Chains A and B, each alone.
Chain A
Amino acid sequence: MAWEHRFSVAVSGIGMSAITRSAEKPLAALALEAVQRAVADSGLQMDDINGLATYAELPAAGHTIIDGLSIVSVNAMMTMLKLPNLRWHLQNETVNIGGAVQTATNALIAGVCDYVVVWRALHNPTGIYTAPPASHVGGPQQFTAPYGFSGIVQSLAAEYARYLERHGQSREKMAALAIAQRKHANLTPEAYFHDTPLTRDDYLNSRMIAYPFCLFDCDIPVQGAMAMVLTRTDRARELRPKPALLAGYGQRIKVEVGGRIASVADYMAAGSSSSNLTWERAGLGPQDVDVAQIYDGFAGSTIYGIESYGFAKEGEALDFVQDGNVEIGGGLPINTFGGSLSAGRLHGIWHIAEAAMQVSGRAGAHQVPGAKIGFAGASGANINATTFVFADEPY
């Protein structure tokens, strides 16, 4: 049975900072800019905002965390904004930015606030993104780091090698997804690689990072921030932009066996445990979706999402992405802003915002014509798997 709160909360304004490769401004300044632009996009005044939510983690090991430079906490944002009418705030620790959006939705439904801004700010540290393990390693790393097997890229690469060999697939097929997403980035002015094309030869000749992942299977770390205004649908209809109505959401409720080496979780169980909640709440299924944003921290994550969320059968996602099927104009356009691979690593908020923009008809040159139902999987299908369905109108 569909969710009783289906369509009762909506995404209104969306704003973002410039996306740059390195830290030209303190991260807090970029987060502030994104929040101000989202509020202005809605046509609201800052004093109207009475809820704040973020997921603040710097997803890179081995760096000193400085609030305002490497993260922007909810306290930092409260300090900058001095909101006179603030009634509710949240900085969640699990399920990434999708969890912040979902909990903000719950707060709006509960009536404890009226206009929430959710933001995500991402720092790109100087030097190596994920610092190598220390000379002596305790905790879970004692079973991986001695083997030179410690970064997230290697864990996900091992999982992807297993995927490819179990399903008799070839890594070269991923070129089609990388190229589709780059074409979408070329249509998205805010995307980091807006001006840079990617050819099949570029992909096939790129250097290997951790087999089977080559350079173009890895997302591009950036410095930047994005924010969105959420409010109840009745209020959203009185604001400037056409709202995107939240039809349903879910989060992963199945976890891999605790403590196993590396991230070789059962992605089908993990991803579908989230999307099944979303499909049930929204009262529709993957066949009804016009456009999908599926998290791509590494390209393999999108493959697992396509399958576990129900868009293709297990083992067939690399075939699903061939022949333009996931490009704008194809059967199911995916990551229509370029994704983390080509637009930049904003760690999931851009996926949610793009799903909303598409059903609001506000995606500009990367708009999928007539998109009414948009899906977002805002974190790795094999990891946190927060999922969303947005609709242009109640159905």
Chain B
Amino acid sequence: MTMSNWSAVKRPIPVPNDLTRAFWDGARRGELLFQRCHTCGNRQHPPAPTCTNCVSTDLGFEPVEGRGTIYAYTVMFHSGDRRFADAIPYASVIVELDDAPGALIAGNLLGVPYTEAHIGRRVRVVFEPLNDEITLPQFELDQ
């Protein structure tokens, strides 16, 4: 009974821009790509014009493994956004990946009851196609 029902949810659709297009191209192929600084090696997300560590502008996109831990989460009960009303209550998580410490990526916790969301739990990325152009990275427990 505590599983969130995502079947009727109409998610807002991301619009890639010059900074984020490579990320979404990767996700469509089933790859999670984070920016990596060619000067200091820092991995960061969301994409930014400069390295958040050393301020270098020499950045490229490289795959990350997609395993990590829940850094923060909330369980949404309020149905102010009617598009998500059927899924309530649902867990939104912020994940820190093992190979990109300090970078944070958002998702929903899929496949388990929302009560399973806790700080530090192991998760791995899965991919959820929204349409022909956009595939969303999502997370499930990594057991």
Contacts and interface: CB of A to CB of B under 8 A. Distances in A.
Contacts of B13: 135-137, 146
Nearest to A140: B46
Contact of A148 (B16, B84, B102): B84
A262 B106 contact: yes
Contacts of A207: 77
A260 B74 CA distance: 16
A148 B77 contact: no
Contacts of A165: 118-120
A219 interface: no
B80 A136 contact: no
Interface residue tally of chain B, by bracket? 35 or more
A135, A165, A208, A261: residue with the most chain B Cβ atoms closer than 10 Å: A261
A262 B12 contact: no
A210 B77 contact: yes
A142 B76 contact: no
Contact of A264 (B44, B48, B71, B92): B71
B97 interface: no
Contacts of B81: 132-133, 148, 150-151
Interface in A190-237: 207-212
Contacts of A260: 46, 103-104
Nearest to A208: B77
Contacts of A143: 14, 45-46, 105-106
A259 interface: yes
Given A138-B17, A207-B77, A258-B52, A148 B119 contact: no
A142 B13 CA distance: 7
A210 B88 CA distance: 10
Nearest to A143: B46
A20 interface: no
A149 interface: yes
Contacts of A133: 12, 81
Contacts of B73: 158, 161-162
24 contacts: A128-B80, A132-B81, A133-B81, A137-B12, A144-B106, A146-B130, A147-B107, A147-B138, A148-B11, A148-B92, A148-B108, A149-B92, A149-B108, A150-B81, A154-B74, A154-B76, A158-B94, A159-B72, A161-B119, A165-B118, A209-B78, A211-B76, A258-B52, A262-B106
Given A154-B92, A264-B71, 7 more contacts: A135-B10, A147-B11, A165-B118, A211-B76, A257-B102, A261-B94, A261-B106
